[in-house]
Every structure is written in C-alpha cells, then in structure tokens.
Amino acid sequence: RDWQDAVGEALRTAVRRRLVADVPVGVLLSGGLDSSLIVALLAEAGQERVRTFSIGFDSRGGEAGDEFHYSDLVARAYDTDHQRIRLADDDLVPAVRRTVAAMTEPMGSHDVVAFHLLCEQVAAHVKVAQSGQGADEVFAGYGYHQPMATVPRAAAARSFADAFFDRDHAELSRVVGVAVPDVDASRDLVVADLAASGAETALDAVLRLDTHVMLPDDPVKRVDSMSMAWGLEVRTPFLDQDLVALAAACPPEHKVAQGGKGVLKEIARQVLSAEVVDRPKGYFPVPALRNVDGPLRELVTEALRAPAARERALFRPEYVEELLAEPDRAQAAAGSNKLWQLGLLELWLQTHGVR
C-alpha cells in the first residue's frame, strides 16, 4: 500500500506538470490502462471536457483493427470531448509513404504509421497532448516481463533474447547480401547490459535495459518524430524523471503482479472500471501492416523488387522471395513482421535517395 500511495502521488504530480501550457492539452486515448489512467487523473485534477482522440483501422482475419469499445467507455465515464478516427485499408499505402518520408531514420515498428496518422488528425485540433508512452517499459507491462520474474539472475540475457529477438545471428547470413562478421554485436550488447551490477534480479536488469536502451531509441524516438512531423507536442507523464526513479526503486514483484503493471492497476482501480483495468493487453492494432497483405503487400513487393533494390543488393533475393511466397514464415517475435522490416528499410532508402 505504501508503494501504491507513493507511485500514485508521483503519477498525479507528473500529469499535473504536463498540463502547464498556453493552449488546451488533449490526450491520445488508446483505451488501454495507461492513457485511460491519464484521462482519469486529469479529471480528478479538475480538467473538464478534455479532448481525447482514438484511432482505428479495418479488421482483418479475425483481428480487430480498433479498441474503440474501451476508449468509448473512458470517454463516457469522464465526459471527454472524444473523437474517433477510423482509417480504411485504402488509406494505408499513401499513409505509409508519408510516414516513411517523415522518418529521419528507418523505424520498423508497425505502429509508427498509426502514430503518424493519429498525430496528423490530432494536430488539427490541439497542439499539445499527453500520451501513455513508457508505462510498459517502466512498470513491466510487456509479455516478456512476466517470465523474468522467475528466471535466475544469470540467465537474464538468454531468456530476454528468446522472448524478444526477431532473428538470431545465424539467420542474418541468410538475410543480407554481404558477409556477416562472426561477432554477434546485438547479443553482446544485451549480455553486457544485463550482466552489469546494480540490478538484483533478472527482471530488474531487463527493466533497466528497457528504460536506458530500448525506450529512448525506439518508442520515444518514434512518437517524438511522428508528432513533430505535424507540429504536435506529445508529453509523456509516465516518463517523468521523479516517477521513473521511484519506479526503479519499487520491488519488481509489485510491478510484475497481475500480469504486469500491478502497482499501476491498483492505482487505476480507484478511478477506472474493472473492465478497463483488467482488459487484455492491447496495442496499436494495424492488422494490414502486421500481416503485410492487400495493397501494402503490393507496396512492399514493389520496393523489394525495384531496380534500386537489385542494385543495392542489401538482401539476398532468395530470402526475399521465400518470405513473399510464404508470408506465414515472416511472423517474428513481439508481434513484428520480418517482411515488413525488410520492406520498410528498402522503402526508406529509396524515399530518401540513399544509395
């Protein structure tokens, strides 16, 4: 209870700090625990008719393309000025092209496009918005965090790689068109970071890696780049320095409890319905991108077979054709897609004229 009270107060302070602005502050409301909690705490702080925004896409193969059910629950509960943004598959190809053009470097996560589209719409209504970004990395909300709670400290690197790596080093020799060095730089980086002193448990070590390495170089960079492309300032209360420092000191069992983010869920129960708090873990659902099918598949195929791609010879043609012929083999760890990773990189190189 002491940890719940301390984290709750730190989070309330973080949310209030990010209200300071000369313009109204909205919320990117996915309907997940983190953004829903921000809306609840803003209401608790006296904010009325907060502008909230959710985005959704076409469903595909039984996979829902939106989480409007949950975002609507929160919007009704707190009487927000809510806007649903729905985009059809036909909107995705031009959206992907605009998103790639806005990238200062290749970003392979499938939800980059969703963020870019969401920020485009939100920027037409508000210039500052709060987001739940970072809560999973700080409070152990991802699926690979739960097994870490029982893994011996010395086995942290192996367990993390098994859960998170899209491909092992040996597979790279089948992917790229140049000789692959014997040095597995990615694994070496993870092994060194997770073995460093200062973390008592495997989970502590992984959360440190998430916050120090993974978070700034992927999710934070992704959201910042996509929002700034539209002149939208996105503020992230879960990455408040005081809150993150407190979370790092919080015993890992409080974070990993209840399927992840246990201490946050207990705080949320004070202000949100159980349906929102105990819902399955969500994400930015973009089924067409996760599966690389329909018009997006045509776009990726065109990029990977383009003359520029052949001249560059970055990827082995037989590997590319193998993924194109058997898309089921393209699924990778953490919900990513190997075909999309290759296509995105080649699209980025072609869009930015890199030879």
pLDDT for res 283: 64
10-residue stretch averages of pLDDT, the chain, 355 residues long:
97 97 94 96 95 87 80 96 87 91 91 90 96 96 91 94 87 89 92 95 96 92 94 97 97 95 97 93 71 87 95 94 84 80 96 93
pLDDT for res 285: 60
* pTM exceeds 0.95 for this model: no
CB 138 within 8 A of CB 211: yes
Phi-psi region of 5 (alpha: psi -120 to 50; beta: other; left: phi over 0): alpha
Separation in Å, CA 161 to CA 9, 203, 223, 333, 355:
35, 13, 25, 10, 32
- For CA atoms 322, 324, 329, 335, give the dihedral sign: positive
Query: Nearest 5 degrees, angle CA 132-CA 203-CA 2?
Result: 65
pLDDT for res 61: 66
Cα separation, 119 vs 168, whole angstroms: 34
CB 344 within 8 A of CB 337: no
- For CA atoms 162, 167, 169, 174, give the dihedral sign: positive
pLDDT for res 62: 67
CB 292 within 8 A of CB 340: yes
Residue owning tokens 């690197």: 157
Cα separation, 65 vs 194, whole angstroms: 36
CB 238 within 8 A of CB 14: yes
CA neighbours within 13 Å on the CB side: how many for 195? Answer: 10
